A and B are shown apart, each in its own frame.
Chain A
Amino acid sequence: MSRIFTTDHRRLGVLYLYLSLAAVVVGTLLSLLIRIHRIWPDWRLPVYGLMKPEDYLALVTMHGTLMVFFVLTTAPQSGFANLVLPAQIGGGRMAFPRLNAAAFWLAVLSFVVLLAAFFVPQGAPISGWTHYPPMSAVSASGPGQGAGMDIWLASIGIFCLSAWLSAVNLLATILTQRCSGMSWTRMPMTVWGWMVASILTLLAFSVLLAALLLLFSDRHLGSSFFVPMGDLVNGRIVGHGDGSPLLWLHLFWFFGHPEVYIAILPGMGLATSIFANFARRTVRGYRTMAGMLVAIGGLGLLVWGHHMFVSGMNPYAGTAFALTTMAIAVPSTVEVLGWLALLSRGGLRLTTPMLFALGFLSFFIAGGLTGPLLAQPALDGYLHNTFFVVGHFHLVMAMAGVFSIFAGIYYWFPLLTGRRMNELAGKLHFWISLFCAYGTFLPMYFSGLAGEPRHYERLAGPATNFAGILANERGITFSALTLGAAQLLFLWNVFHSARRGEPAGQNPWQATTLEWAPPDAPLRVTHGPYDYEGFSAVTKQDTFSSEEILCQWEAASKQE
């Protein structure tokens, strides 16, 4: 029991990763069902039978909810931060261990409650992870809008509390537990990422909680915040007053957009650290890079309206949101240029974590470049409800986020188990995943440009008349199935290497951040974010010798 109900942050980090693993397995299976349904809509599922339209929508909703909350938010933020943050800032412990454990168990509770939605009458919720009213506010508006929707509200409400406690703990830890010499400008970039993401969590999830409360009140307490006057649902007039569905969109996206950055900022910090480590250079423009992470977080709070261009929002507001959204491209570009500058001088060691970090960069560029396109209200009017948007957020948020999670797992695996993961399997996993991820999500740009709508259960009528749409769909599905299958390689690698992997030694990557310091090293940061006393003590007894490290480095490079 003490191993499970622990307050040890490392164990909690592992438990968080297990939670994410459970969620990602369920979420991936749901997404594969979605893809299969798109090319064989009349295929009967083995036990279940024919998939009805509402089942398809329920799959989309649950896939989105599981992936966004329990994978992209949980693993990089709470999971990795619990695993390494205390060691990385030389503090060794969290500020509030019991609060931390409470946050984890709330997340588990939220996950279990969410899965329960599959098993209630009328089934899981169907209105997408954004749950736009008035449909979501009226229990009688369709299947899945009854108990399933209430369960979704309860689950996400619990998740809000969990994320909130976790963020309080992380912020207090970063502020109070840093070791001697680790000033603000000497924190590793991962810590900057976690810190900005935690601030966003505090600000955004609180707003979501308020929105959930209002929606719950609309559904059960007879209020009418989101249901417009005289709204007709299933032949009945619903709602009591002049509620505004737009109000929900504002509240939801004020959470929903920062959520994207909560998912990606830890990955950005991690990629910076991994690039610096495997290119053997200090971070170029450290202060700028850290500042840009903060700028992305700050601007991220001001752009929610770009999800609402087609919602009937005031067009002048659309202009303002278009400007703030395009402004985000500036710090993001600075980050990308910073990474390219860091990588530009050759001598990279292409280990598996490095490959996944490069994959992250590649997806960040490929998905990010379409962001400014969608930031134009006029273009968005055409593209918004097409697969273009699906391709965009799956590349920039989902794939970039997942690749940063993979990078983190391959990178910190020796820290957890004392063993390295199999490099060959890792590289194979990387290349298959990279090609299949592009094979899955890049064609969505083309089908979106051709006008293929999203949220449709099946393609019929004029949409299928575009030459190649169905062929494109088939290609996407086969690519997605391969992508899913390739992850079995990763699972095998994790569980095999944890027991049989090659012993890693103290610091297999010659990393310079504190979590790799030997247990007895004096923890005092002396020069920069990637330079501490203990590291030089390991490489050479007294003084820091770059020659020495270079020799080790070259020897290690030759082994690769």
Chain B
Amino acid sequence: MPATFTRHSVEVERRDPGIGGKPPVDRRPTGGGGDGDNWDDHQSGRRGPRELLSRYRLGVLFAMAGDLMFFVAIVSAFFVRQSAGHFDARDNYVSDWRPLAVPPILWLNTAVLLLSSITIEIGRRQLFREIDVMEEWLGLGRPAVKRAAPWLLATLGLGLLFLAGQWIAWKQLVLAGFRFDSPDPSSHFFYLITGAHGAHLLLGLVALIAALIGLSRLKRVELRQIAVDCTAWYWHTMGLFWIFLFVLLVWFQ
């Protein structure tokens, strides 16, 4: 039901201040209040059992927002460089941009990365299954950890597979005559983009290993959750970034 049907008590008070038709005294110094929310007792920020988790998630979110700008800058440079050219002595427009044929193995790598996102998500959700978490809280063993660890290991394997695949793609390109220092700007961008993303993914692998160690070492349930949760969000973000970059490399050359 829309809120307008029932007038809130505060609203009634403001409409009819009972001081002989004079305008109501608005006692809001800077804001808040009046909308039914009790601002005087309003808890700001986040509190409660998930506070720590949401704080770390926010940290990952902000870090990834900055990282997104990093890739956006490189992609902007890609488009600028693609459209750069000059006029030769006969007034012909000359562009040195030769589209690079993306090695087909990248499709396989993309599939592997998508798969790894699924495995890490399954692993992440294992740590939040209420029954298991309750058992861990009560000290009745570590079912969540036992369920999650294989999935994280699978992700680790798939991540390594992806990086190996990227390496093979580089090798294929070199064989085809596209080295980093060859004069083609498209190949500079290919190496730069896949290299920067690969470095990020390598960092993700380090985080995965750290999370796996944390799963066995960390005593508190919520810390184990944080380790896996933040790694997973980072991993998903890198998957998303890769889709974005892959589409760029395949269709926008």
List the interface of chain A (C-beta within 8 A of B).
Answer: 91, 95-96, 99, 164, 167-169, 171-172, 175-183, 185-186, 202-207, 209-211, 213-214, 217, 221-225, 228-229, 240-244, 247, 250-251, 254, 282, 286-287, 526-529, 531
Contacts and interface: CB of A to CB of B under 8 A. Distances in A.
Given A180-B42, A185-B31, A243-B84, A203 B66 contact: yes
Contacts of A209: 70
Contacts of A223: 180-181, 185, 188, 192
B59 A168 contact: yes
Contacts of A205: 66
A363 B46 CA distance: 40
Contact of B63 (A168, A210, A250): A168
Contacts of A203: 65-66, 69
B130 interface: no
4 shortest interchain CB distances as A-B pairs: A222-B181, A185-B31, A210-B73, A206-B69
Interface in B18-76: 29-32, 39-46, 51, 54-55, 58-59, 62-63, 65-74, 76
A181 B41 contact: yes
Interface residues of B, number: 48
B97 to A, nearest CB: 8
A182 B44 contact: yes
Given A206-B67, A206-B70, A529 B62 contact: no
User: Which of B30, B65, B81: most chain A CB closer than 10 A?
Assistant: B30
B74 A210 contact: yes
Contact of B86 (A176, A229, A282): A229
A250 B80 contact: yes
B31 A180 contact: no
Nearest to B37: A183
Contacts of B63: 164, 168
A173 to B, nearest CB: 9
A242 B96 contact: yes
Nearest to B55: A176
A176 B45 CA distance: 4
Contacts of B9: none
5 contacts: A181-B41, A186-B30, A210-B73, A214-B192, A527-B30
Contacts of A247: 77, 80-81, 84
A243 B73 contact: no
B84 A242 contact: yes
Contacts of A528: 29-30
A243 B184 CA distance: 11
Nearest to B185: A241
A225 B79 CA distance: 12
Contact of A526 (B40, B69, B180, B184): B40
A527 B196 CA distance: 49
Nearest to A169: B59
Contacts of B86: 228-229, 242
A273 B196 CA distance: 43
A221 B182 CA distance: 10
B46 A244 contact: no
User: Which of B66, B80, B81: most chain A CB closer than 10 A?
Assistant: B66
Contacts of A206: 66-70, 73
A531 B96 contact: no
B95 interface: yes
Given A171-B62, A243-B81, A254-B73, A213 B192 contact: yes
Interface of B: 29-32, 39-46, 51, 54-55, 58-59, 62-63, 65-74, 76-77, 80-81, 84-86, 94-96, 180-185, 188, 192, 196
Contacts of A91: 45
Contacts of A229: 86, 96
A103 B3 CA distance: 47
B192 A217 contact: yes
B183 A241 contact: yes
A176 B54 contact: yes
Given A225-B185, A229-B86, A242-B81, 4 more contacts: A175-B45, A182-B44, A242-B94, A528-B30
Nearest to B183: A240
Contact of A221 (B31, B74, B77, B181): B181
B43 A180 contact: yes
B29 A282 contact: yes
A206 B66 CA distance: 6
A387 B41 CA distance: 55
B118 to A, nearest CB: 28
B138 to A, nearest CB: 28
User: Which of A186, A240, A241, A282: most chain B CB closer than 10 A?
Assistant: A241
A175 B58 contact: yes
A223 to B, nearest CB: 4
A210 B196 CA distance: 10
Nearest to B29: A528
A178 B44 contact: yes
A228 B76 CA distance: 18
B233 to A, nearest CB: 14
A172 B32 contact: no
Contacts of B74: 210, 213-214
Contacts of B29: 282, 527-528, 531
Contacts of B55: 95-96, 172, 176
A99 B55 CA distance: 13
Contacts of A250: 76, 80
Given A169-B59, A206-B73, A251-B73, A244 B45 contact: no
Contact of A202 (B40, B51, B66): B66
B62 A202 contact: yes
Contacts of A179: 44-45
Nearest to B188: A223
Contacts of B58: 95, 171-172, 175-176
B188 A225 contact: yes
Given A229-B96, A529-B30, A210 B62 contact: no
Contacts of A529: 30
Contacts of A169: 59
A183 B81 contact: no
